[in-house]
Amino acid sequence: MDGEPRGQRLRSFLLGGLVGASAVLAAARRRRPRARQTPPGLAAFEDAPCFRETLDREKRP
């Protein structure tokens, strides 16, 4: 073959497989969508206390 002992080739193959598997796991973790902390768009603003206070002030005569 290429002059490398069989054990060294097997070890190299296993190490490469381990590195590749860890790269796949790292990529999968990055693609996972994260939970939103705040509602999107205007819903985030409408829940704010200052907005509620403004609405209460506008309702008063």
Give per-residue pLDDT as tens, 1-60. 556 688 899 999 999 999 999 999 888 887 766 666 666 777 777 778 888 888 888 988
Tokens at 23, concatenated: 């790269």
Q: How far is CA 57 from CA 43, 46, 54, 60, 61, in A?
A: 20, 15, 5, 6, 9
Rounded-to-integer distance, Cα 32 and Cα 9, Å: 35
- Is 10 within a domain? yes
Q: Based on DSSP, count helices (H) and strands (E) in the chain, helices before strands.
A: 3, 0
- Is 1 within a domain? no
- Is 24 within a domain? yes
- Is 42 within a domain? yes
Domain of residue 41: give its range.
6-59
Overall domain count for the chain: 1
- Is 37 within a domain? yes
